[in-house]
A and B are shown apart, each in its own frame.
Chain A
Amino acid sequence: MKGLRFCLALWLAKLSIPALKLTKHNATDYPGHLAIKICPDFLDKIDKPELVIAVTGTNGKTTCTNMICDAFEAAGRKVLCNRYGSNINSGVSTCLISGSTLTGKCKYDTAILETDERSAPRIYPYLKPDYIVVTNLFRDSIMRNAHPEYIQWIINKGVPENSKLVINGDDLISCGIAPGNKHIYYGIGQIASDTTEEVNRLVDLRVCPECGRKLVFDYRRYHHIGRAHCPECGFKSPDYDYEGHDIDKAAGTVQVTDKEGTRAYKIANDSLFNIYNTVMTVALMRDLGFSADEVQSLMDKVKIPATRFSRVAAGPCTVTTQLAKEMNALAVTRATDYIRHQEGHKRLFLLLSCYKVAKNWSENMGWLYDCDFEMMNDPLIDTSVVTGPRALDFKLRLLLAGVPEEKILCIEDEREAARQMDIAPGDSIYIYCGMVEGFGVVDDCRKIITERCEALGGKEQA
């Protein structure tokens, strides 16, 4: 018996969904919030699908959740998913409410749920996921996330003993999560661009988590991602259960080797970060018992959500929107590293001023000094446009990174900056956009830039 309180919570929460939609609210969080308020153990009591997969980590949660969901839907499963990332306990509850009948019975066979890493203790003990996928752990918002060791500690407080963890074996911080649980490790074997040197400012793990001595990296991909060992105590990176290798960007594939053999799988995007996401999805599906043939076919249907990365042709230019969360040095560094390796000349338009908090507060800008803005000092990056209430902080950081002042356009008003930036035929323009709350500004700026590109006339870029 779930009790009257549970039923009342469920019905009122369900009723609130159409009411919120009628008043043009997105209803992704409030119904769950209301249900928990009425029935504090609501998340524990509500019926769950027979298979529950939680996705967490610093970066790539929404992308991975969507990719896994695409694969399951392609496999014909009835999937309940918080695709748009409402990922705290109230958001997860809302998702389960929307997937239940009036009697509280779940209408789906599978749930793929993005979960906020800090909310793990408020979600996992009640959700009891069969699998917890961890994308990676890096430093994130200084205000909320402090440092990845803290996030590892928080997640560890919530992981149920029977949950299987799907972990990036190239990330030794993630590897420290729930050491007593069953771990499935995925990763990408050594590639030509790997190095043993430290090439990034942000490196969250330099010392052995066991003994504190300096780790030796056998190879390093970026930041602390790679394979390492401790010469003092013998601590080392785990062996892979699923190893990605032989990335073929032209063919759009990555080979993945598991205990049954090797197979090529389609990649949804050629950035290394997203190739990790592909290998993760393959690892999860294979561990769940899907055959290599089935997974190979399912991966053809997997896409990167357009809010994460989208590219449009505009007259003789291309305009790309690249999600790069502000306050997150890793996200901006990885986005820039990807962009600078693209062919041709580029112009960057930075919309990273923490719009959500700018009105009343001031988000800590220390992350600028963890981020590799030095990558923007590139001969093929012709302009970096810095905007928003923190435009001057960005300008100073770019100057310190060696970007010539004449290549920086600093205008606080974002739309005005979009009107004034230099645009020429053949340009590839990259708009860095941060939090969802800033998307109004992003849409406006993208529209202005796209229209200006189209006004140049000429042939559309491929």
Chain B
Amino acid sequence: MIIEVLFPEVCNLYGDLGNIEYISRSLEASGETCEVINTDLYTRPAFADRDDIDLIYMGPVTEKGQVRVIESLKPYKDRLMQMIEGGQRFFMTGNAMEVFGKYIECEEGGPRIECLGIFPFMTKQRMMNRTSSFWVGQYGETDVVGYKSQFTHIYPEDTGSFKSLFKTEKGEGINPGFKDEGIREAGFAGTYLLGPLFVLNPVLMKEYLAEMGYKDIKPLYEETAVEAYNKRLAEYREPGRSYKY
């Protein structure tokens, strides 16, 4: 497998690069090879010239870093659109997916940051209103748990046609008025869920890799990972347990 990690020098918050470490080490432990390409803000991305990248990953980023990410990706907007239409796999965690929307509104009536405009949603950023919660829901039939901690929410232009990545069982969706979580458009997946998500959800990782053609990948230290996952899942489902903190 070849994974391109976009801008790890800034898109590295909340331990989320652990997602890629866990995927690559699990693949290798299962006898597969895994090449991770780290692309810097001012380096030409590998995806611009190559068609053999299996997964493009980007993690959570600071607000200033997000502006730099948008500027770095703008020259490749057409290529990104072409890849998304062609089914290229992208996985974005935290606020990374916001870059692919239309714009970010900084505070109520504040300045706008123009984004790539690939997907029809906008983002509201409220720096004095950080929201944190845990979350439980499903990816298809698979139970998923995660954390959310953010200053931003995305708002689709047309909620009716918006395709979510996860169904929400307990917790908040992509915004306080929208139940489901994340975005899925062909091979593009983005979610606010932190964790790192694939470490917290070894079953999800296994399923996701299987969808990519990597069947029977055993998550590294599967027994402990699954035990931790089951414990968390049971705790989050406890009646009366609040989810916002």
Contact = CB atoms under 8 A, between A and B. Distances in A.
Physical interaction between A and B: yes
Interface of A: 139, 142-144, 146-147, 149-150, 153, 203, 206-207, 212-214, 329, 357, 360-370, 389, 392-393, 395-396, 399-400
B221 A400 contact: yes
A142 B42 CA distance: 28
Interface of A is mostly: helix
Contact of A149 (B14, B22, B62): B62
A329 B15 CA distance: 9
B241 interface: yes
Interface in B37-79: 40-42, 62-65, 68
Interface of B is mostly: mixed
Nearest to A215: B9
B147 interface: yes
B130 A146 contact: yes
Interface string B191-205: 000111001100000
B235 interface: yes
Contacts of B42: 212-214
19 contacts: A139-B13, A142-B147, A143-B130, A149-B62, A150-B62, A153-B127, A212-B42, A212-B68, A214-B42, A360-B245, A362-B235, A362-B245, A364-B147, A364-B194, A366-B18, A369-B196, A369-B199, A392-B224, A396-B199
Contacts of B228: 392-393, 395-396
A205 to B, nearest CB: 10
Interface residues of B, number: 46
Contacts of A207: 9-10, 41, 65, 68
Given A392-B224, A393-B228, A400-B25, A364 B9 contact: no
Given A153-B127, A360-B242, A399 B224 contact: yes
A143 B15 contact: no
Given A360-B245, A361-B243, A369-B15, 10 more contacts: A143-B130, A149-B63, A150-B151, A357-B245, A362-B147, A366-B16, A366-B147, A393-B228, A400-B22, A400-B221
B40 A214 contact: yes
B149 interface: yes
Interface string B6-28: 00011011111110011001000
